[in-house]
Structure formats: structure tokens, C-alpha cells
A = this chain, B = another copy of it.
């Protein structure tokens, strides 16, 4: 019956109150009573301390409160129990908001108009129609598909790329190493929603940027990364910006978070920085989904959205 809530970085007390309110009969702990606490059956985690789950003899499942699970899998002493991702309309909607916001801000030349405003310059820029612009989405999971649907509704053309073959309505989909060049060659605005795995670490490098379309209807290629900071090589992003291989960039995630004060990304006029805030996890929306999984599991139903540890997501 007992749930361990091991949440680093998010506000643990908000999550504690949400669980206590939604599941008054369960015991919710922020710390195990002991290294081998036998009462704990479920762990709900974000960046749990290394090894904290390893001695719990009755642990049955681990739940992530974020879309990614890299923060769980980096624990070298992770016990061999099922891990479930969170799949929630609330989380997908927030991520799609961020993606649509950033795509529109680049597409509608927000940066250029803000600079014109600072200079007191009244000058209308050529504005292509959305149907003339292709957004390329890397990562066609729940988040990528939701973002694609919302961008499609605004009239953009969509291409997508994923590790394995996927079919997504209204998206021309490419997959695997063999499909990457064709995908990049069609992309005007690149949106990255990949999980971080040994295969994807550092994938956003100079080689990838050089394969993007060079001329685009809005002037040059744009990168938007809301996946994980480990996907990107920040020195390569800065080089690509300075060599006009990339026109503008929006980054919500970074190699090191918080982004160090010394990073040139903070001050670059064509980089937009947010503090890993693209899709925050709302306890009120997510706690009922996690409790629903636990209740179903206890009725003997299978857990949903299970992680494949070998694959890494």
C-alpha cells in the first residue's frame, strides 16, 4: 500500500499533498523508513538518489513523473522491477504548446520584429504561408505525434523521423540512419523530442546541422530542442549559428542544467533559452493517472507505458 515519493528538483511537498488528497488510504513516504523498508511497494520518482530503490524487498513498480526516464535509468543500482513512463494529455498538451509557440515565433520572425521594435523600425517582412514551410519532428512518440497534429491544424507541412518505422497521419515519416538525410533535407524548422539513449546522445552535431535545408522560406534553418540536453552538442550549435548554418535556435534543455552562467548561449541574439520548462508536470493532472495505474495493477491488470530498459525509453 505504501508509495515512496522520491522527487528531486520538482517540489516534493506539492506532489505529497496531491497524493495524500487523492489516495487518503495509502501511506506516502518522502524517504524510506530504512534502506530495506519492507512497506514500500511502489516508487514515484524524478531523479531518485543513486541506489535508494536497490534494497527495497517488496518494490513492485517504478513510475516516472516526467515524459523521459533517463533520470531513472542512470541509477546503476536500479532494481529489476517494471518502470512505467507517464503518458498524459496534460503533459502532451503543454509540450505541444511550447512547440507551437516556438515554431510560430521563428516562423513569424519574432526575433527580427523585436529587434526592429528596439530600433524603432516600421518594416513589414515577407511572410510565407504556413503551407510553404515544413516542420521536421525528430521523435514520433506521444509528444511528437501530438505536436504534429497541432502544427498540421495550423497549416504546416510535417515530416517526421524516428528510430524505427512509424506511421503518423498527416506526417511524411522517415526512420533509421538510412532515412535521416532525406528527413533533414526537407526540414525548414527542426523540432527535437527524442529520448536520450546511447544512440541519440550528441545527435544534434555539426554533421546533422549541415544536412538541413540551407535555404528555407523564412531565411534559414531553425532548431528547437525540447527533448534532452544530452542530445545536443552546444559548441556545434554556436558554430552553426555563427556560420549561418542555423538561423535561430530555441533550447529548453542543455548539456548541463541549470545552464552555467559562463555559457555563451545566454547572450546569443539568435538563441532563445527557457529553463527546462517546456512541459512541467502538474501533480493535479498526473497523480490520478499514476494512482490509476497502481489500482489497475492491484486488480491484476498489466501496467501500461512500460519502459524497455535495453532500448532506453
Contact = CB atoms under 8 A, between A and B. Distances in A.
Interface in A103-126: 104-105, 107-108, 110, 113-114, 116-117, 120, 122-125
Contacts of A130: 93, 97
A258 interface: yes
Contacts of A120: 261, 266-267
Nearest to A284: B129
Interface in A153-172: 153-155
B258 A122 contact: yes
A291 interface: no
Given A108-B101, A150-B153, A154-B93, A282 B129 contact: yes
A104 B97 contact: yes
A275 B104 contact: no
Given A113-B274, A124-B280, A285 B100 contact: no
A277 interface: yes
B90 A100 contact: no
Contacts of A274: 113
A276 interface: yes
Interface string A74-91: 000000000000000010
Question: What size tier do the contact residues of chain A reach?
Answer: 35 or more
A182 B280 CA distance: 32
B154 A100 contact: yes
Contact of A117 (B125, B266, B285): B266
B150 A275 contact: no
A124 B90 contact: no
Interface of A: 90, 93-94, 96-98, 100-101, 104-105, 107-108, 110, 113-114, 116-117, 120, 122-125, 127, 129-130, 150, 153-155, 257-259, 261, 266-267, 272-277, 280, 282, 285
Given A100-B100, A117-B273, 6 more contacts: A93-B130, A94-B127, A101-B104, A116-B275, A120-B266, A122-B275
11 contacts: A94-B129, A98-B108, A100-B104, A100-B154, A101-B101, A110-B110, A116-B275, A120-B266, A124-B275, A124-B276, A129-B285
